[in-house]
């Protein structure tokens, strides 16, 4: 069923292509005011034009930021807070796979910076305008299975594997979801995450053999429309309005790996993320603090 989102404000990151674009478009189709967050102004403008054309919705706008960069996330959060006094839905969706070890403008390993720290940082900065009932949706992945976080080497400085870094970043999405849900308990702001399935998108653009193999297999993958279904479900469905801390696959609750259900790892990741984003500094806006 297409739940009306009229009167609601939503932010979707990575909404210029793939799963995020469809998510933003379908939220707009349901009547929501939507802010598309993209990295390139041209692609963000194209996404807005596409969504307006497809849905007839006029309440769609764009903001741009490089989400691997702390200063850009702070600037983005400020711009969102100025435009939207009350945010109902935040979909953290932007992500990438980096087979070579790259560093963000802040000198953080790129996969960890973009896929995990951007979710953590932006969410914490937007929480002050997320008034109950509000929902946070984190796009994770079943790729998280088979890895644990290495707290001695979160950024792969000693040993780096691109796919492994991606897997760990998606594990971090699930641990972040669990810890945030715990801290938000009783506030009416929920936080869930999901695996979208294997979806034909731009994420597999690596020119090497890994990218080629994945693109060949992607002929059998889901369309972005199918891949966005669980994100849209968690953002809109009345039956999950009170659900929090969950991991969903195909619009149903699923059990993530044992490593993703480790509350000590979730707390440790929260503390590390606070330090790495500078959110733990006394001068920065206070993030949620709830003792274990
Ligand atoms: P995609 O490449 O089509 O979309 C990724 C989006 O993130 C794009 O809009 C891109 O511009 C944005 N982005 C990338 N780097 C950015 C940066 N530095 N700053 C701002 N935005 C940036 O890929 P997708 O498959 O639609 O990926 C969306 C999410 O789905 C990701 O979190 C990914 O991990 C997850 N996922 C995808 C699959 C799949 O099979 N495609 C499977 C599991 C999980």
Residues 168-212 have pLDDT tens digits of 999 999 999 999 999 999 999 999 999 999 999 988 877 777 778
The domain total for the chain is 1
- Is residue 4 included in any domain, yes or no? no
- Is residue 284 included in any domain, yes or no? no
Position 139 pLDDT exceeds 70: yes
Position 39 pLDDT exceeds 80: yes
Ligand 1 centroid distance, CA of 283 (Å): 32
Total-model pTM: 0.97
Residues 131 and 133: their CA atoms lie apart, in Å, by: 6
- Nearest ligand 1 atom to alpha carbon 142: 43
Ligand 1 centroid distance, CA of 96 (Å): 5
Query: 92 in ligand 1 pocket by Cβ < 6 Å?
Result: no
3-state secondary structure 130-175: CCCCEEEEEECCHHHCCCCCCCCCCCCCCCCCHHHHHHHHHHHHHH
CATH label of the domain that carries residue 112: 3.40.50.720
Query: 231 in ligand 1 pocket by Cβ < 6 Å?
Result: no
Question: Is cis: bond before 96, omega within 30 of 0?
Answer: no
Ligand 1 centroid distance, CA of 222 (Å): 15
- Is residue 204 included in any domain, yes or no? no
- Is residue 137 included in any domain, yes or no? yes
Nearest residue to 118 (alpha-carbon basis) of 195, 61, 176, 160: 176
- Is residue 291 included in any domain, yes or no? no
Query: 156 in ligand 1 pocket by Cβ < 6 Å?
Result: no
- Is residue 1 included in any domain, yes or no? no
Structural domain of residue 177, as residue ranges? 9-196+224-277
Query: 117 in ligand 1 pocket by Cβ < 6 Å?
Result: no
- Is residue 259 included in any domain, yes or no? yes
């Amino acid at each position: 069923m297409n739940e009306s989102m009229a009167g609601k404000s939503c932010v979707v990151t990575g909404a210029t292509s793939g799963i995020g674009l469809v998510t933003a478009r379908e939220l707009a189709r349901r009547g929501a005011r939507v802010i598309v967050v993209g990295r390139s102004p041209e692609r963000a403008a194209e996404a807005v034009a596409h969504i307006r054309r497809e849905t007839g919705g006029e309440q769609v706008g764009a903001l741009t930021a490089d989400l691997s960069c702390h200063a850009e996330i702070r600037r983005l959060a400020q711009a969102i807070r100025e435009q939207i006094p009350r945010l109902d839905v935040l979909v953290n969706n932007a992500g990438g796979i980096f087979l070579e070890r790259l560093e963000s403008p802040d000198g953080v390993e790129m996969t960890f910076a973009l896929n995990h720290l951007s979710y953590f940082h932006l969410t914490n900065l937007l929480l002050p305008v997320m008034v109950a009932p509000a929902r946070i949706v984190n796009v994770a992945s079943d790729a998280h299975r088979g890895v644990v976080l290495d707290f001695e080497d979160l950024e792969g400085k000693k040993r780096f594997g691109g796919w492994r870094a991606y897997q760990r970043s998606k594990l971090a999405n699930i641990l972040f979801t669990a810890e945030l849900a715990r801290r938000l308990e009783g506030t009416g702001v929920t936080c869930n995450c999901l695996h979208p399935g294997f979806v034909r998108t731009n994420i597999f653009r690596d020119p090497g053999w890994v990218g080629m193999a994945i693109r060949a297999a992607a002929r059998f993958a889901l369309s972005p429309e199918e891949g966005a279904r669980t994100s849209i479900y968690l953002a809109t469905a009345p039956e999950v309005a009170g659900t929090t801390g969950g991991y969903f696959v195909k619009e149903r609750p699923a059990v993530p790996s044992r490593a993703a259900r480790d509350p000590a790892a979730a707390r440790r990741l929260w503390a590390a993320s606070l330090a790495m984003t500078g959110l733990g500094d006394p001068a920065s806006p206070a993030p949620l603090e709830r003792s274990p």
